[in-house]
Structure 1
Amino acid sequence: MTNQKLDTPLSATEQEEIAQFYEERADHLELDSFASNTVLTDDTQDWIRALTGSGAKLIVGPRGCGKTHLMRFAYSSCKENTESPFAVYTNLNRYYRLEPLLRKRPDAIGMFYTWVLSNIFIGLHQALTEFSARQCIDIDINLLLELDVEKVRDIIGTLEQSRLFSDTEDELATRLTVDRTKILLVRAAEAIGRRRIVLFLDDAALTLTPEYLSHFFDIYRALKAARIAPKASVYPGTTEYGPNFHAAHEADSVFVWKAVTDENYLAFMQDVGEKRFPDVKDLPVEIRALLAYAAFGVPRSYMSLVRSYNKFRKSSSLSTTPQGLLNRVIELFCSEKMTEYLSLREKKPQLATIISAGAVCFNKMVEDVAEASQALADSSTRQIFVGIVSDGVDQKPYVSRMLRMLEEVGMIYRYPTVSHGDRDYIRYVPHLAALQDRRAFTRKGSYSPKLSIEMLQRADEKHPVRRSISTLIGSQNSGNLGLDLPNCLTCGTKRVEGAKYCSGCGAKLTDESSYDRIMGSSLADVPGLTEWQRKVISNSDSVPKTIGEFIALQDRGTALRTIHRMGKVRATTVIAAVEEYLEEYLS
């Protein structure tokens, strides 16, 4: 009797966990649903006007703050309104697949140019297809754009798999130039009666490959034209633009991270929650407000916090109070946030010491601000700011890099510098969830959600908590900040900062590949898998143990379905979780 695999339905718990993992991301929303899922405040409308208006723009914000959502909403809006410009959207988050080329191919930079322009062409083809259909215009798109879209897709696949071009692909790649791309963009816009073009380049920070990043901004600058306005999304603080691109002159920066100090902050965040996750209305009003503040201006975090609260509420005993659930949710969220930050040490091992010092700095910021805030419980102001002596930041590149890394992941929010006496202070607000976790907005020895909300809504103290870097990370840490450079991979000689060749053997010095490192990690440890999936994958002899081996399989679904009770549906969710993890981890 044959052992038949049954595609057992997902349990309710599995469905909930998978939904939580995907629904928080704008990439997984259908374009038609963006209008109903977007909160149009004055801020949002300003951001969308910047996206659809003329001129090059850099859309700046940490992970999860809504950059992708805004770009896709703007794209959808342009498609619906014939008075708007022609919009092209492309996402560059798979750039990390080209990282191995830097160590294998002398023409890696040229291949990167081809990859970027190929992705823009795919986005152009898709946009022209959708816009012409929406306007009921009959266009021979392949004739208009000259190049075969499927062959361009093949070029992208070849590059992402580090294979050599075929003769056909090599000939096609030579035709993918910046000048031709600009001509095709204008030609497509004219075909549907639009004069201007906005080019949305999402996930353009390319944080793991600074070698590519500077060249990306060369492409960005070259694409600018009277009728073409490129818009790229980047991270605050850590995006390295390269020597040829001066961000302040080449493009306007649009900061899309909602500040907790904005008067309409609470209303904005709660509107986001209600549109993307209607169940938020079932939460107590005070809990809703405190979770919104704990999200620190990041919509994805707010949805995650709400889902987590609902999950704990369903699984907890009847005696558990809303306050107890809130404390548990925020504690878990803070732990996960710090884990996410510290994971940067694996992505960027040369910055491991700087990142570790950043964790010390952040925790000390939270501790000192929380203490100052508690002292104001019976006053009429709040304290959420820390001011760091600017000399200790501006004149110390490693300290500056440390703070910028904290900004990138949304742990601290930078505000304009202020003066006090003869000193200037750079102001930051540390993550409000961490401050809530330290009971910053309550009296010592007691806790009241009502008081916490009242304190969070007060006016700010005139002066921040003033600190120097040495008091935040300790004089020893301050003196030890530096890069963690790997030894020469050929002979093991200790590496000298700035050196391009080994002082021992003369070999060219290269860094360990982040891509290769993640490919060697355990498949069962991928976030987004259910506990059952982790267990059966770990115990299976027929499924590869590492992510790299799994990705290399020609038919991953068949391999997964050799596991008992792993049918098509569950196998699909595993494959999707792995791909999502790679894109998130290496973005």
Structure 2
Amino acid sequence: MNEFYLRTESIKADEIFDLFVAGKEDLNIIKALRSPEPCILEGSRGTGKSFLMRIAQQEIDASENTCVPVFLSFNVSSLINTDDAHQFYHWMLAKSLRALLNALKKKGFAVSTFSAGLLSRDEMDDGEAIERNLEKLVKEFEASYKSGASVNIDALPDIEEVKEAIQEICVDNGISRVYFFFDEAAHVFRPEQQRQFFSLFKDLRSPYITCNAAIYPGVTYFGDSFEPIHDCLYKVIERDIRDPGYIQYFKEMALKQADQAVRDAIINNADLFATLAFSGGGNPRMILKTIQDLPKFNSSNVDQMLKDFYRTKIWAEHTALGEKYKGHKSLIDWGRDFLERTVIPTLQSYNETRKQKRSEESSIYFWIHKDAPETVKEALRLLTYTGIIRKTDASIRATRSELGARYEVKYGCLLSLFANPHSESKDFYQTLSVKKYVEFGKSHSAYSSISELSSAIEDDEKFVTSVQAMMHRPISVLSMLSKWQIEKLQQAKIHSVEDLYRKTEADLIEHIYGVGPARARVIKNAVAAELLEYLSG
């Protein structure tokens, strides 16, 4: 089979529009990215966040000569390691200014002496000299991982000077707006970097500046100063396999990249293509990857591909995250075990029972109680990052009117377990019902091995260092706790986060009057939520 583009970075600028399929939701996202309001675009790995931002950038560039789009990636952010507490913020600012000056130069816009002076505190008034200085600063930050050496940022302007300079540049050149497109917004397993990114994102807001950023679901920490509901347009890339135009959308996407032999195979084997497209659960990279790796377009090869990819490869990628990010390893491994050994077998059993009863209903959905341990929720968030599951609803009522979140397991992960996946797919898909799901309560037995945070964290020096300061903070920093709960804890001589961390739910129930199982779980979840932010961070 021919080679497909699986990453936007591989696509040349003049080819990107030729590969674009204009789905309704895609057009809505692009409209938001081109609006004056800042926009956050959320999507799992391989869903096309970078691609849509590139489309928006090029549309602005082509149709609005009074606007300047600036596209930059922070994908090397994990290399930043200096003794500057705000190192990531300063690196991002320097990199953004360098990219802006480069974009202005390409469009032939001038930078006045006054604006140049605002962009540098070392009294430089030459735009090219400032750009070289910023380039040097960025390289020093990116080399800091080797030695942890400090970087001299004396010449870097503060944020108000930056906004004033950009306004001056816009007025002088008749520019109505500068659009920053931040790809790989912040390293997903370094929460402190994410908090600094969203501080910059908010700080840059002005009548002349719009910021857009791509983020991952589940593993993004906005910090205290940024509120997604109030501070931006929030868009999510979701391609539901139940949507009427789903197959046609992905068929057009594949045909745009396919050579003649693959085009003919897709057109002449519509059912086989539908099986592959549904299995990918709306993820373009997974769908194109499975088509690309087929030796021949027939049912036996499709069956084998589904088994290889959705039984093995997709899980191996998730597990590999644990090897790369040690602080999350136990959470990542537990999440995989929970899905493979508990959720999916339960769904299989449910579907088989419904089939035996000749009930035309099947499910790829499961529900988790809102008061499940925080470590369980974190493990599920990591599964949404890799795209193995998708949260479809944040708060729905299940049995006994209890509230919880509903998730969708990747269609291919269930389908691949059939002996003959392709021949089963049509009936399985047609009987899917989002109203049918298996439930896991707040104290399910599968949680026992991960419910205490201490069992979910590698006891290594890196983690100890990263949470040490947090452990000594007062319990009043735990935003999930009510004033009454904080007072009760203090009366029980529990004053710091560490004091609370070392107490079990049973300890809280025994020693604090008025605290039963439900409140004990809320209190323990509060401390777990705070500490989980510092994992590997």
TM-score (norm 1): 0.69
Structure 1 window deviating more from structure 2 (337-346 vs 255-264): it is: 255-264
Are the equivalent residues in 2 in contact too, given 1:82–1:194 (CA < 8 A)? no
Which SS does the other structure have where 1:231 is aligned?
Answer: strand
- Is the Cα–Cα contact under 8 Å of residues 332 and 379 in structure 2 kept in the other structure? yes
What per-residue deviation string (whole Å, max 9, x for no partner) do you get for residues 251-296 of structure 1?
2321013232333222222222222345354242222111111212
Counterpart residue number, 2:231: 250
Cα separation, 2, equivalents of 1:501 and 1:412: 31
CA 1:451 to 1:338, structure 2 compared with 1: closer, same or farther past 3 Å?
Answer: closer
Alignment of 1:263-282 (within 5 A): 263-278=244-259, 279-282=262-265
Q: Which runs of 5+ in 1 are unaligned?
A: 1-12, 133-137, 314-320, 440-445, 504-585
Deviations 1:296-350 (A, max 9, x none): 21111111111111xx33xxxxxxx822211221222221211111122123222
Query: What secondary structure sits across from 1:426 in the alignment?
Result: strand
1:418, distance to aligned residue in structure 2 (A): 2.0
How far 1:370 sits from its partner (Å)? Answer: 3.0
Which SS does the other structure have where 1:24 is aligned?
coil
- Provide the aligned C-alpha RMSD in A: 3.3
Taking the aligned partners of 2:348 and 2:59, their CA distance within structure 1 comes to 43
Q: Which residue of 1 aligns with 2:36?
A: 54
1:220 to 201, 215, 218: 201
Equivalent residue letter for 2:77: Y
State the distance in 2 between where 1:185 and 1:497 align.
Answer: 37
1:390 aligns with: 370
> Within the alignment, does 1:433 sit opposite 2:412 as a pair?
yes
Shift of 1:86: 2.8
For the residues of structure 2 that align with 1:27 and 1:37, how far apart are their CA atoms? 13
Identify if the C-alpha distance between structure 1 residues 370 and 487 changes in structure 2 by more than 3 Å, giving closer, same or farther.
closer
Runs of 4+ in 1 over 6 A off after TM superposition: 163-167
Cα 1:281/1:410, change in 2 over 3 Å: farther
Q: Specify which of 61, 69, 74 is matched with residue 51 of structure 2.
A: 69
1:368 aligns to 2:368 (yes or no): no
2:385 counterpart residue number: 408
Alignment pair present for 1:38 and 2:23: no
Q: Map 1:512-527 to 2 at 5 A.
A: none
Distance 1:185 1:291, change over 3 A: farther
Look up the match of 1:112.
Answer: 88
- Cα distance in structure 2, aligned partners of 1:307 and 1:384: 26
Deviations 1:221-254 (A, max 9, x none): 1001233221111111111122322233222321
Corresponding residue to 2:468 among 499, 504, 509: 499
Give, in angstroms, the shift of residue 453 of structure 1.
2.6
User: In the alignment, residue 308 of structure 1 is paired with which amino acid?
Assistant: D
After TM superposition, the structure 1 = structure 2 runs for residues 562-581 of structure 1, keeping only pairs within 5 Å, are none
Which residue identity is paired with 1:352?
A: K
Partner of 1:540: none
Residue equivalent to 1:150: 132
Structure 2 spans left out of the alignment, 5+ residues: 117-125, 473-535
Partner in structure 2 of residue 9 of structure 1:
none
CA shift in 2, pair 1:495/1:436, >3 Å: same
- Call closer, same or farther: CA 1:474–1:206 in 2, change over 3 Å: closer
In structure 1, what is the Cα distance between the partners aligned to 2:426 and 2:164?
A: 55
Q: Is 2:138 aligned against 1:161? A: no
* Aligned 8 A contact 1:280 1:306 in 2: no
Q: How does 1:62-461 map to 2 (within 5 A)?
A: 62-82=44-64, 85-98=67-80, 100-101=81-82, 105=83, 107=84, 109-130=85-106, 132=107, 138-140=108-110, 146-148=126-128, 149-162=131-144, 170=152, 174-190=155-171, 193-278=174-259, 279-283=262-266, 284-309=269-294, 312-313=295-296, 322-334=298-310, 335-363=312-340, 364-376=342-354, 379-392=359-372, 396-416=373-393, 417-420=395-398, 421-439=400-418, 447=420, 449=422, 451-458=424-431, 460=433
Note if contact 1:155-1:165 (Cα within 8 Å) is conserved in structure 2. Answer: no
Q: What is the rounded CA distance, in whole Å, between the counterparts of 2:227 and 2:455 in structure 1?
A: 26
Bigger CA drift: 47-56 or 185-194?
Answer: 185-194
Cα 1:297–1:280 shift into 2, 3 Å: farther
Q: Report the alpha carbon displacement of residue 479 of structure 1 after superposing the two structures with TM.
A: 5.4
Alpha-carbon distance between aligned partners in 1 of 2:94 and 2:466, rounded to the nearest angstrom: 36
- CA distance in 2 between counterparts of 1:345 and 1:174 reads 39
Aligned partners of 1:51, 1:120: CA distance in 2, in Å?
A: 18
- Give, in whole Å, the separation in 1 of the partners of 2:157 and 2:190: 22
Aligned residues: 451
d(CA) in 2 for partners of 1:257 and 1:501? 35
Which has the larger displacement, 352-361 or 470-479? 470-479
The aligned counterpart of 1:519 is none
Counterparts of 1:384 and 1:62, CA distance in 2: 18
1:456 Cα deviation from its structure 2 partner: 1.5
1:55 shift after superposition: 1.4
Deviation, 1:401, is 0.8
- Report the AA paired with residue 406 of structure 1: L
Q: How far apart, in 1, do the equivalents of 2:147 and 2:339 lie?
A: 46
Q: Deviations over 1:482-506 (max 9, x none)?
A: 44243448xxxx9599534999xxx
Alignment CA distance shift 1:121-1:266 (3 Å): same
Conserved? CA contact 1:52–1:84, under 8 Å: no
Q: Distance in 1 between matches of 2:417 and 2:443?
A: 22
Question: How far off is 1:111 after superposition?
Answer: 3.3
Structure 1 Cα separation of the partners of residues 133 and 467 of structure 2: 41
Q: CA deviation at 1:472?
A: 7.3
Q: Deviations over 1:367-407 (max 9, x none)?
A: 22233334455554442211222222xxx221111111111
Contact 1:357/1:473 (8 A) holds in 2: no
Q: Distance in 2 between matches of 1:196 and 1:501?
A: 40
Native 8 Å contact 1:360 1:473 kept in 2: no
The structure-2 alpha-carbon separation of the partners of 1:502 and 1:467, relative to structure 1 and needing over 3 Å to count, comes to closer
Q: Supply the AA of the counterpart residue of 2:446.
A: I
Aligned to 1:569: none
Contact kept in structure 1, 2:98 and 2:135, CA below 8 Å: yes
Does the 8 Å CA contact 1:398/1:481 hold for their aligned counterparts? no
1:51, 1:231 within 8 Å by CA — same for their partners in 2?
yes
Q: Decide whether the 8 Å contact of 2:368 with 2:406 is kept in 1.
A: yes
Question: Which residue identity is paired with 2:224?
Answer: P
SS in 1 for 2:404: strand
In structure 2, distance between residues paired with 1:24 and 1:476:
37
Residues 112 and 169, structure 2, Cα contact 8 Å, conserved in 1: no
Inter-partner Cα distance in structure 2 for 1:272 and 1:373: 32
The worse-fitting range, judged by mean Cα deviation, of 365-374 and 46-55 is 365-374
The 1:281–1:479 alpha-carbon spacing in structure 2 relative to 1, beyond 3 Å, is: farther
Does the Cα contact within 8 Å between 1:495 and 1:502 map onto a contact in 2?
Answer: no
Q: What is the Cα deviation at residue 33 of structure 1?
A: 1.4
Checking the alignment, whether the CA contact within 8 Å between 2:306 and 2:421 is kept in structure 1 is no
Q: Does the 8 Å CA contact 1:208/1:347 hold for their aligned counterparts?
A: no
Task: Indicate if the aligned counterparts of 1:199 and 1:231 stay in contact, CA closer than 8 A.
Answer: yes
From 456, 459, 469, the counterpart of 1:486: 459
